[in-house]
Amino acid sequence: MTDASATQQPQAAQKSLVARLIGVILSPGATFRSIVAHPTWLGALLTVVLVVAGGNFALLSTEVGQQALLDQQIRTSEAWGQTVTAAQQEKMEQMLPMMRYITLASTVVMAPVITFALAGLLFGVFNAGLGGSATYREVLAVVAHAGAVSILATVFTLPLNYARESLSSPTNLAVFAPFLDEGSLAARFLGMIDLFLVWWVVVLAIGLAVLYKRLAGRVAFWLLGAYVGIAAVIAVIMRAFAGSQ
């Protein structure tokens, strides 16, 4: 079946930025029909970037957040099979006051880059690979608005991380399997599967299904399959690096 461009779909009423971001969470199908009919993306992207970057900056401005970051840096190095020496830890501690600015800058720069790149990848897959006829701007609008899930994740997880004094995700599947050895392949794989990321993938799939007039379940199946596959590969690589040390 050949996909129809969004411009051929019945025009839906244009929504405000706030209504679009809330609607993507509460009523994604109807909201994406409006987004596809009026494919603006800048406001959504800026809002997502500002909330995520600002939230992380606020957390890393606290002593709790900085100590949690240090712990995460050490745990990440150990997860890849590296041993953090006393000298290396001292350098990490010296950098902690600056990390909020580095994190802020990297988020402001990299979040748009990733959004544009992902939109380009999906545009190529669905248009060139599957015969779709949507424009890049329409795909970009879908990807940018799917980021509303990132806003919700930030609002939900940052207070929890502060209370837990940890930057590890409180919503990854490894949390539900505390009996597993932290260094095992299963624990590493489950730690890569985050419930908010799963939600984001499903929301993105709904938006793409609306845009390309495909079944949302089928699009979600393939996107979730790609996510799980990437998580499995990373988990295997991490386990291999840790085992080789």
Give DSSP secondary structure letters for 79-148: HTTPPPPHHHHHHHHHHHHHHHHHHHHHHHHHHHHHHHHHHHHHHIIIIIIT-----HHHHHHHHHHHTH
What is the rounded distance in angstroms from the CA atom of residue 147 to the CA atom of residue 3?
A: 24
What is the rounded distance in angstroms from the CA atom of residue 84 to the CA atom of residue 28?
A: 45
Q: Residue written as tokens 């080789």? A: 244
Each residue's pLDDT, cut to its tens digit, for the chain (245 residues) gives 444 444 444 578 889 999 999 999 999 999 999 999 999 999 999 999 999 999 999 999 999 999 999 988 888 887 777 787 888 888 888 899 999 999 999 999 999 999 999 999 999 999 988 888 899 999 999 999 999 999 999 999 999 999 998 888 889 998 888 888 877 888 889 989 999 999 999 999 999 999 999 999 999 999 999 999 999 998 888 878 765 45
> For the chain, what are the domain ranges?
12-244
Phi, psi torsion values for 61, nearest 5 degrees: -85, -10
Classify each residue of 170-209 as buried b or exposed e, where b means 16 or more C-beta atoms within 10 Å of its C-beta: bbbbbeeeeebeeeebebbbbbbbbebbbbbbbbbbbbbb
The pLDDT of residue 179 is 86
Tokens of 46: 């800026």
Helices (H), strands (E): how many in the chain? 10, 0
The pLDDT of residue 6 is 40
Spatial CA neighbour of 223 closest among 203, 195, 194: 203
Three-state DSSP state, 48: helix
The pLDDT of residue 242 is 65
Q: Residue written as tokens 């809330």? A: 22
What is the rounded distance in angstroms from the CA atom of residue 83 to the CA atom of residue 198?
A: 32
Contact 60, 163 (CB under 8 A): no
pTM listed for this prediction: 0.86
Three-state DSSP state, 69: helix
